[in-house]
Amino acid sequence: MKRLSPSDAMFLYGESREQMFHVAAMMPFTPPPDASPDHLRELMDEVRAGVNVYRPWNLKLKHPDFLYHPLQSWIEEPNIDLEYHLRRSALPSPGDERELGILVSRLHGYHIDFHRPPWEVHLIEGLEGGRFALFVKVHHSLVDGFTAMRILANALTTDPDERGRPLFFSIPPKSRAPREEQEGVHYAAVMSAVREQYGAAKVAGRALKRVFDSARSGAHELVSPRQAPKSILNARISQSRRFATQRLETSRLKAIAKAANGTLNDVVLALCAGSLRKYLVEQNALPPEPLIAMVPVAVRAKDEDGGGNSIGAILANLATDIEDPYERLAEIIESTRNAKKQLEGMSKAAIIQYSALLIAPSMLQMIPQTAGHVRPTFNVVISNVPGPEQPLYFRGARLEASYPMSIPLHGQALNITCNSYAGHMCFGFTGCRDTLPSLQHLAVFCGEALVELERAVATNAA
């Protein structure tokens, strides 16, 4: 039996009819030339014949009917029904990307069964050219998105000729070295930790004061938690989901970043801003003030000796009030540069405390009764997760892309997450179908925003 940590338990406490705290990945594959027409059936037969299921994929909740149980814990399920967890679906052949998107949107829009280990895998066949897709769905309380993607990557290989690799749930976890015997907790160590947190709190408080001073002065060099406008992105959501994807060459994004003296992440934000602006204009819902994004960032902390990174959060101006793509990008670059400069020189503890204080007011906008009525802390979450640069294979089938699917919430009807993979940036737009109609237009507009930005950069360089 394994007790849930407080952070893991929070994902259960937030579960409701409309809010579902599972994450997913949609991964299309191109089969090898020598693939059997029945290769997916053969894979299902292999599963039915019996395979081992290792932790954490064999864990289920001890109290599935009372998610808020104070002693909630994970217990091992000795008799896993793999035919329930691994399912085979088919599109009317030849299925296109739109039909695939509709299917995975539907799969993402229903709850996971907590009476079983909280994960599902769908093998989806019928795509054009004999292609197929894997849709993997897992509750955030069991595995976080980063860890889930790492485990999935371990089930893939860079060798197209390796055909015997098992599915991810049948790969045993790496054995851990035994922990060294720890001496008792020393008073000096405890006091040192207290002093560190106290010092971090003072640094974080000063940084937050600079944010509010900037807002009061009207300069807005730093985005404040009360700067985001009300928008349709921040309304109450329903249970229905819609998912859309876009895949762009990373080299094109890097070329823009270099020409504009920005970063790859700045260009990602600019593409999202361009698509959001066009989408909201189409919906007659573009606020006169610029949209604000919450962006997770990796920043080197001054107290880290090696190559480790500290994860913080910044608020970035998306400049959606600016029509010109080049001027919009310049505004985004300045905004992210000022925001990240706030984190320079901070300790890891100070970064965490400052980030928490910065986004803390967002809890109010996530309450069903207040969603859409209070001014949001930020309008959208945009995250960019680096992935493998080499092509990956599953039993000879080449992974074409890896599209992340995330969690819409009350007051946060849209989430945009990107994964880089094999020279491409894979955008996943996950939203509420009822709150944001025609959400797939966002993906189309994202591709158009890249062309517009390339032209704007070329014109300004001439």
- Domains in the chain, please, with CATH? 2-170 (3.30.559.10), 196-461 (3.30.559.30)
CB contact at 8 A, 374 and 398 = no
DSSP label at 431?
Answer: E
Catalytic residue check, 140: yes
DSSP H or E run through 107:
helix 97-108
Q: Any idea which residue has 């940084």 for tokens?
A: 207
pLDDT digits (tens, 9 = 90+) for 298-310: 654 444 433 333 4
Which is it for strands 380-385 and 414-421: parallel, antiparallel or unpaired? parallel
Write down the pTM of the prediction: 0.87
With a CB cutoff of 8 Å and minimum separation 6, the contacts of 332 are: 262, 266, 269, 270, 273, 316, 317, 318, 319
Query: Which of the residues 140, 220, 373, 410 is marked catalytic?
Result: 140
The token duo for 272 is 């999202």
* Peptide bond before residue 94 is cis, with ω within 30 degrees of 0: yes
Q: Is 431 in contact with 238 (CB distance < 8 Å)? A: no
- What is the secondary structure of 40-101 as a DSSP string? HHHHHHHHHT-----TTTTEEES-TT-TT-TT-EEEE-SS--HHHHEEEEEEEEEE-HHHHH
Low-confidence ranges of the chain (pLDDT < 50): 180-182, 300-310
Q: Cβ neighbours of residue 180 under 8 Å, at least 6 residues apart?
A: none
Note whether 194 and 188 are within 8 A (CB): no
Q: Strand 132-139 to strand 119-127: parallel, antiparallel, or no bridges (unpaired)?
A: antiparallel
Burial of 293 (0-12, 13-18, 19+ CB in 10 A): buried
